[in-house]
Amino acid sequence: MLLVVDVGNTQTTLGLFGPDDQLARQWRMASDKTDTADELHERLYGYFMMLGRSLSEVNDVAIASVVPILTQEWLYMMGHVLDARDVLLVDPRRDCGIEVDMPDPTQVGADRIANAVAAREAYGDSVIVVDFGTATNIDVVDARGRFRGGAIMPGLLLSAGALFSHAARLSSVPLVVPERALGNSTEAAVQSGIVIGAAAQAEGLVRRIKDELGEPDATVVGTGGLSREIAKATDLFDALDPDLTIRGIKLIWEHRARKRAVR
């Protein structure tokens, strides 16, 4: 079986792919920057026990990480503690199956590359991904199938946390779409500003990106933990695809495996 690990700043998402290449199970855990390889192994062992499975069933591992301190712990755990046969780290400096048309591809996050690869596979060329995570990323694949970059902005939880910690009279509210953009209470006004504001921000950036690309009909895909809630406030998205990043990491692993096979 293939275990895919997407290490984000706030959450780590894990996906288990069976012999039929289908996503058999997906689960999330907090990204704790103090975790050691042994602690990660203990948590992973517990998840597999709950599934009634054994870690020995994992033959291959693919990891994408934007948290360097955890990258090393995951790699050590998979390679030395778990003794996986093949461990791939998604690295923009190596061939990931997509051309990166940027001045310095090494600065691109592994999750953004994975999004681009999966979006192109599922929706074709000329596709824009809006990923609502700790940061909200907009990842762009042009009509020639090249990753062109995009935009990065503070995510909803980050924005909300900054607002609540710096505005003394504002308290935390549920991050859900209010009935109207015109909030008639402090809670509704905050929800409008954060949630509907995030939707409007994405709409504006996507519109500008389409204009700059000259691709007005580019497909727009929403992903990330809050994408379903944001989608209630906008008609921006042609599709919602919560498993996009995990599938992209798997596709990169498959691409690299094919390259090794022909050597």
Predicted TM-score (pTM) of the model is 0.93
Using DSSP, state whether 37 is helix, strand or coil.
helix
Residue spans per domain, the chain: 2-89, 112-242
Residue 8 confidence (pLDDT)? 94
Catalytic residue among 35, 60, 111, 131: 111
Nearest to 84 by CA among 14, 27, 1: 1
C-alpha closest to that of 90 among 241, 222, 256: 256
H or E element at residue 156: helix 156-166
Mean per-residue pLDDT pooled into runs of 10, the chain (263 residues): 94 92 91 95 92 87 96 90 80 92 93 98 98 95 98 93 84 90 94 96 98 98 95 98 97 90 70
CA distance 67 to 122: 27
Q: What is the CATH number of domain 112-242?
A: 3.30.420.40
Q: What fold does the segment set 2-89 form as a domain?
A: Nucleotidyltransferase; domain 5 (3.30.420)
Predicted local confidence at residue 12, as pLDDT: 96
Query: Would residue 20 show up in a list of annotated catalytic residues for this protein?
Result: no
Do 2-89 and 112-242 come out as alike in CATH topology? yes
Residue 84, pLDDT score:
65
- In whole angstroms, what is the distance from residue 163 CA to residue 241 CA? 29
